[in-house]
Amino acid sequence: MHTIEETKKSYDAACKEVLADRYILANILKECVEEFSGESIDYIATVCIQGSPEIGTIPVRADESVRLQLEGLNTEDTSLTEAVVHYDIRFRAILPREERSIKLIINVEAQNNFSPGYSLLKRAMYYCCRLVSAQYGTVFTHSSYDDMEKVYSIWICTNPGAQWEYTITKYAMQECNLIGKAQARPEEYDLIVPIMVCLGKKKYRELQGLFRLLNMVLIHQNRNDRNEVLNELKDHYNVVMTPNLEKGVAQMCNLSEGVYQDGV
C-alpha cells in the first residue's frame, strides 16, 4: 500500500511527463504566449520547440560559478551553499519565420497548492529573474546584452481559489513616460513574463479549449477515462501520441482521483 507521500511523488512525476510532451506544450504556448498565437500546433511542436524539454533536472538557484549550458545541458548541480530547487520543465523555443529569429526560454510549472504560505506570483517572477540571470556566460557574455532572450514562466495551478478558477493572467513589463514622450523598442524591456493558468473543480467535459485539455490530462480522471482522453487528444488537440505520453496519461488516470480525494 502506497503512502500519501509516495502517491504524491508518483503523481508529480506523471504530471511533469505529460506536461513536457511537445504537443501538450504546443497547445499551452499557442494559448498563452503571444509570439505563437498565430501558429499551428504541429508547427510549434515540430519546429519551434527546440530539443527535448528538461524535466526536473535544472536547478533554479545554482551557484553563479556553475554554468549550465542551454544546449547539451549539464544538469548536475554541485552547489553546497544552496538547497536544490529544480524547474519542473524548461526548454527553448524559436520563431524562425521572423527576419531575425525570436528566441525564448520557457519554464512550465505544475502547482497544486495555490496558497503555500507565500505569493506564487512572486515566486514566478523570481523564476523569470533566474532564467534571465542564468543567461550570462551561456547566451551572452561581457556587455553583449542585446543577445539576452525573453523568458516566460507559466504556472499551471490545478487547485486555485474560487476567484482565480478558469483564468489565464499574464504579467508584463510596460513603458510608462513620467516626463516627455521617449519611446524604447519593446524588445529592449519586454523580457520577463510570468503567466498564471488557473484550473478548477469542473469536469473536463464541461470545458473547452486549453482549460478542457489541462483538466483532462491533469485532474478529475479515473482509469475508465483513459481511452477517451487519448482519443480526444489526437482528434481535437492535434497531439501525436508517443509511448511516454500514453504511459503518463495512464498513470494520471490511475493516480489523479486518489490524489484529489486525499487533498495532497
| Structural domain includes residue 136 | yes
Measured CA to CA, the distance from residue 131 to residue 87 in angstroms comes to 10
Which residue, 146, 122, 186, 154, is CA-closest to 30? Answer: 154
pTM: 0.86
| Structural domain includes residue 179 | no
Measured CA to CA, the distance from residue 179 to residue 103 in angstroms comes to 33
Read off the DSSP letter of residue 87: -
Is there a single domain that holds both residue 131 and residue 82? Answer: yes
| pLDDT value, residue 132 | 93
Q: Tens digit of pLDDT for each residue in 138-175?
A: 888 989 999 999 999 999 999 898 999 999 999 999 99
Q: Tens digit of pLDDT for each residue in 66-117?
A: 444 444 444 333 343 445 788 889 999 998 776 678 899 999 999 988 999 9
Read off the DSSP letter of residue 163: G
Measured CA to CA, the distance from residue 49 to residue 161 in angstroms comes to 32
| Structural domain includes residue 10 | yes
Label residue 81 exposed, middle or buried (CB < 10 Å: 0-12, 13-18, 19+): exposed
134 — phi, psi (to 5°)?
A: -70, -10
Measured CA to CA, the distance from residue 216 to residue 82 in angstroms comes to 37
Which grid cell is 259? Answer: 490524489
| Structural domain includes residue 36 | no
Is there a single domain that holds both residue 116 and residue 227? Answer: no
- Helices 226-236/243-262 angle, 10° precision: 120
Q: Give the best-scoring range by mean pLDDT among 37-46, 99-108, 214-223.
A: 37-46
Domain count of the chain?
2
**Residue entry with cell 486549453:** 210
Read off the DSSP letter of residue 162: G
Q: Give the structural domain span for 2.
A: 1-21+202-264
Is there a single domain that holds both residue 83 and residue 206? Answer: no
* Integer angstrom CA distances of residue 195 from 7, 53, 56, 88, 170: 28, 19, 19, 15, 4
Is there a single domain that holds both residue 75 and residue 196? Answer: yes
Which grid cell is 21? Answer: 510532451
